[in-house]
């Protein structure tokens, strides 16, 4: 919320000097890259309920830990959104607007339909899980996983910001929707269902590809 959505709310739309979609995409990627190095050795840097579920499907994460991780992810997202709101509302004439929330139809940045948004979120989250699982595999080059994962998330945002404002993370979507209001909340279901389906498919597909079973 602070790194990615913060860049969207505070820096994307500044006339002449705004960072635009490319800058916001990079901010999301840098957030995950830097946090993976910072807390990966403590918790695995799970910032995303869909990722935790996908890792569980792939046999990389115990099911008994899903509930506390997901609760922590949502609470952390809400806390980050609260900090961002306090900062953003300090500007004269501040209007909350979309608050970097996700959406489809009228709430899509470029008017994409529910079907387009759903497919985008499923496929992008699937892709993200395959990147995570491959980069952290014991046979992958050691120490570079955060770089691959962060760049992968940057790429995902470059592709999908115009469609849904990019979720691939139910906790991020929930936190933004709570502050954006009823319109975002009414569409929030899709930004839980589609990323979780995509993550589960990504975990299952990667496990099937890993013929030697050495995930």
Q: What is the pLDDT of residues 4-28, one digit of tens each?
A: 999 999 999 888 889 999 999 999 9
The predicted structure's pLDDT at residue 214:
52
CB contact at 8 A, 204 and 128: no
Q: How would residue 210 be classed by pLDDT, with cut points 50, 70 and 90?
A: confident
Mean pLDDT, residues 191-208 taken together: 97
pLDDT at 212 over 70: no
Give the tens place of pLDDT for each residue, 26-42.
Answer: 999 999 999 999 999 99
Tell me what pLDDT residue 211 has: 65
Give me the chain's average pLDDT, please: 95
Residues 175 and 80 sit within 8 Å (Cβ to Cβ): yes
Over residues 46-88, the pLDDT tens digits come to 999 999 999 999 999 999 999 999 999 999 999 999 999 999 9
Q: Which fold has domain 4-91+98-209?
A: Glycerol uptake facilitator protein (1.20.1080)
| pLDDT above 80 for 215 | no
**pLDDT score recorded for residue 53:** 98
Whole-model pTM: value is 0.94
Cβ-count burial of 208 within 10 angstroms (0-12 exposed, 13-18 middle, 19+ buried)?
exposed
Q: Tell me what pLDDT residue 16 has.
A: 81
Nearest CA among 154, 164, 215 for reference residue 193: 164
Q: Is the pLDDT of residue 135 over 60?
A: yes
Q: For tokens 């608050």, what's the residue?
A: 99
- What percent of the chain stands above pLDDT 90? 91
The tens digit of pLDDT for each residue in 138-160 reads 989 999 999 999 999 999 999 99
Count CA atoms within 13 Å of residue 113 on its CB side. Answer: 3
């Amino acid at each position: 919320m602070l790194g990615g959505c913060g860049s969207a709310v505070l820096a994307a739309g500044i006339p002449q000097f705004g960072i635009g979609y490319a800058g916001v995409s990079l901010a999301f990627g840098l957030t995950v890259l830097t946090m993976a190095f910072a807390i990966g050795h403590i918790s695995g840097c799970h910032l995303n309920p869909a990722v935790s579920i996908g890792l569980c499907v792939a046999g990389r994460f115990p099911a008994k830990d899903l509930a506390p991780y997901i609760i922590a992810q949502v609470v952390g997202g809400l806390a980050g959104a609260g900090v961002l709101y306090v900062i953003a509302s300090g500007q004269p004439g501040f209007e909350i607007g979309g608050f970097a929330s996700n959406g489809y139809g009228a709430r899509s940045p470029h008017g994409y339909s529910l079907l387009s948004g759903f497919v985008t979120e499923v496929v992008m989250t699937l892709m993200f899980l395959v990147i995570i699982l491959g980069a952290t595999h014991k046979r992958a080059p050691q120490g570079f996983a955060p770089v691959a994962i962060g760049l992968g998330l940057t790429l995902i945002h470059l592709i999908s910001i115009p469609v849904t404002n990019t979720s691939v993370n139910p906790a991020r979507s929930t936190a933004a929707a709570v502050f954006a209001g009823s319109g975002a909340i009414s569409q929030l279901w899709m930004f839980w269902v589609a990323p979780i389906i995509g993550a589960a498919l990504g975990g299952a597909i990667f496990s099937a590809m890993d013929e030697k079973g050495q995930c």
